[in-house]
Structure 1
Amino acid sequence: MNYILFDGPSRNALLPFTYTRPVADIRVGILTIREKWESYLGYITTTVTEDYLADKFPMVEMEENIMINASYLPNSELAEHIKHLEENQAIFDGDNVIAFFAKEGQDDIDFNAFERIEYEGEILKIEHTWDIFSKNGDAIKNDFELITKGRQSAPIPSSVNTIKPENIFIEKGAKLEFVTLNASSGPIYIGKDSEVMEQSVIRGPFALCKGATVKMAAKIYGPTTIGPYSKVGGEVTNSILFGYSNKGHDGYLGNSVLGEWCNLGADTNNSNLKNNYAEVRLWDYESGRFAKTGLQFCGLMMGDHSKCGINTMFNTGTVVGVSANIFGSGFPRNFVPSFSWGGSSGFTTYLTKKAFEVAKVVMARRNIEFTEQDAAILEHVFEESKQYRRD
């Protein structure tokens, strides 16, 4: 069977992260949503997404296809239901479709003509940007069970101080000495070829993905995920770095999500709680205004390729778009549009030519090419986000 993940109605609510990737390639827990589905289904998946992303994330259609709403995170029960879908059948979660059977070229889907199967089991769904960190604990636990089932952890070095070592899994090639790992509140996963430097203190649930680094004497509270080849230092609470992003120095990051290729300058701090303890509002791309989150704790949402200088301060509930460059004293406003250059005193447009020059250098340091596809995607984001910039 051919499985295709589609963005679904939550795509715009997940901006700025879905400016540069399909919903399926959001990382929550240890794995991306796509990696989870492929593990449960045992098949490679492709994607239905925005046209400007389709060259980099193509769809492969066959005579018979199962379409899956990528906002939903898989579990064993749901995956089995989906594997047994037949023609003109669809699985629903209330009014929302989770998955359906489609024939090649079947463009107009009338679900009234489908046999409706209600899924009544427990399920995780990523509908808003803040779901990425607020549901990360459950996602880490589920991924931990999936990845480690039937496998043996590498030995925990004798210098490592542990609590609940049975909830700790270390992949081959990982380096860690003279650190504290407390897995009493949730599992701790240390990925292949990653490193936890000495005197770091980590409380689970926690995931350190392949090639990532925790710098010396870092303090990390779960649920936190450090994506592949990212670096973190200082103090981190309930946050996610998708991959190839750096918070390498002292400073605080809490209840936050960073996309790929982001960099936080030394002593950058974000607020995750308002002074009056009120509900946090966050910029909503769909409505074009700030919307309620229902959360008391909510920090920074930063899109791919965005950076900030040393001593940058982010207020509670700040959204930064793609390829923004922020610097200077004071708090920048709570919504920084994509391709913005500046800080609290104001912003100008960060031209794509200059942004691409930086991206090429940054990615080359990790032996990854900044391709024409990448440039075309960012050019589209530049144009689409023009409405939010004020020069």
Structure 2
Amino acid sequence: MNYILFDGAVRDQLLPFTFTRPVADIRVGILTLREKWEHMLGTTTTTITEDYLVDKFPMVEMEENVMINASFIPSEHMIALIEGLLENQAVFYEDEPLAFFAKEGEEVDFDSYEVVQYTYDDVLRIEHTWDIFAKNGDAIARDFALLTEGRTSQPIPEKTVAFNESQIFIEEGAKLSLCSLNAEGGPIYIGKHSEIMEGAMIRGPFALCDNATVKMGAKIYGPTTIGPHCKVGGEINNSVLMGYSSKGHDGFLGNSVLGEWCNLGADTNNSNLKNNYAEVRLWDYETEGFAHTGLQFCGLMMGDHSKCSINTMFNTGTVVGVSANIFGSGFPRNFIPSFSWGGSAGMTTYKTNKAFEVSKIVMERRGVDFTTDDAAILEHVFEEAAKWRKG
């Protein structure tokens, strides 16, 4: 069967991260949503997403297809129902399609479908940006079980202090030196060719993905995910870095999500708790207002390619778009549109030619090309974000 992941109704609620990727390519837990589905289905997938993303994330349609809502984290019950779908059948969760059978070129009319309601209590879904960190502990636990079942971890080095060793899994090529791993609160996964340097202290749930680095003396509280090729130091609590991003120095990052190719300057700090302990509200691109999160702790949401200088201070519940460059003293606004340049003293437009020069340099340092597809996506985001920029 040909499986296609679609963005679904929550795509705009997951901006700024879905400006530059389909919902399926959001990382939560150890794996991206796509990687979870592919692992459990035992096959590759393609994507239905926004038109401007299709050159980088194409869809492959065949005569018979099963469409899957990418915002759901797969479970064994979901997989069993999806693999058994036949023509004119669908699985719904409440009022929304979770998966359905589709023939090539034919319109789908659910009124003519046999609809099965999904009633199992194992639903874990990413519907809002803050779900990425708030549900990260459950996602790490599921991925840990998925990736380690029937496998044996590399040995824990003698000079590494480890608690609850059965919940620590170290992949081949990982390097650990004089660090502390405490998995009493949740599993710890150390990816291939990753490194944890001397003096780092880590509490699970925690995922260090392939080729990522934890620097000396870091203090990391779970549930936290450090994506592939990321570099982190200082203090981190309940955060997700999707990949290729750096928080390499002292400073605090808490209850936050960074996309790819982000960089936080030395001693950057974010607030994750309001002084009056009130619920945090977060910018919502869909309503163009501030949404109720229901959370007391919520920090920074930063889209791909955004960066800030040393000593940057982010207020509670700050949303930074794609390819913003933030610097200066004081607290910048708690909504910074894509391609903004400046800080608390004011913002101007970060022109694409300058932004692309930086992206090329940053990506080349990691052996990744800045492609024409990447440029076209960012050009689209630049134009879409113009209505929110003032300068």
Aligned-partner Cα distance in 2 for 1:94–1:14? 20
Counterpart in the other structure of 1:206: 206
- Report SS of the residue matched to 1:73: coil
Residue number in structure 1 paired with 2:110: 111
Structure 1 residues without counterparts, runs of 5 or longer: none
Q: Which residue of 1 aligns with 2:339?
A: 339
* Structure 2 unmatched ranges of 5 or more: none
Structure 1 Cα separation of the partners of residues 73 and 125 of structure 2: 6
In structure 2, C-alpha distance between the alignment counterparts of 1:150 and 1:165, rounded to whole Å? 16
* 1:347 aligned counterpart, secondary structure: strand
**What's the CA shift for 1:111?**
1.0
**Structure 2 matches for 1:173-212, cutoff 5 A?**
173-212=173-212
Cα shift at 1:112: 1.3
Hey, what does 2:170 align to over in structure 1?
170
Once the two structures are TM-superposed, the CA of residue 89 in structure 1 deviates from its matched residue by 0.6
The one-letter amino acid of 2:108's match is I
1:312-345 Cα offsets, whole Å, 9 max, x none, are: 0000000000000000000000000000000000
**Residue correspondence of structure 1 range 263-342 to structure 2 within 5 A:** 263-342=263-342
| Higher mean displacement: 157-166 or 114-123 | 114-123
1:23-47 superposed Cα distances (whole Å, 9 cap, x missing partner): 0000000000000000000010000
Where does residue 11 of structure 1 map in the other structure?
Answer: 11
Q: Which runs of 4+ in 1 moved over 3 A?
A: none
Task: Give the Cα separation in 2 of the matches to 1:260 and 1:114.
Answer: 40
Root mean square deviation of aligned Cα: 0.5
Q: State the Cα distance separating 1:76 from its structure 2 match.
A: 1.3
Distance 1:285 1:273 in 2: 22
Q: Deviations over 1:119-154 (max 9, x none)?
A: 111110000000000000000000000000000000
Superposition deviation, residue 110 in structure 1: 1.6
Counterpart-to-counterpart distance in 1, 2:83 and 2:380: 36
Per-residue deviation, 1:390: 0.0
TM-score, structure 1 as length reference: 0.99
The CA deviation string for residues 187-222 of structure 1, in whole angstroms up to 9 with x for no partner, is 000000000001100000000000000000100000
Report the count of equivalent residues.
Answer: 390
Matched residue SS, 1:36:
helix
Structure 1 residue 161, shift from structure 2 partner? 0.4
Alignment of 1:44-123 (within 5 A): 44-106=44-106, 108-121=107-120, 122-123=122-123
The 2-side partners of 1:187 and 1:301 are apart by 25
Structure 2 counterpart of 1:326, one-letter code: I
Q: When the two structures are superposed, what TM-score results if normalisation uses the length of structure 2?
A: 0.99
SS of the residue 2:139 aligns to: helix
Question: Superposed, which structure 2 residues align to 1:240-255 within 5 Å?
Answer: 240-255=240-255
Q: Given the alignment of the two structures, is residue 351 of structure 1 paired with residue 343 of structure 2, yes or no?
A: no
Aligned position for 2:23: 23
Q: 1:159 — aligned with what?
A: 159
Q: Percent identity?
A: 72
Q: In 2, Cα distance between the equivalents of 1:151 and 1:352?
A: 47
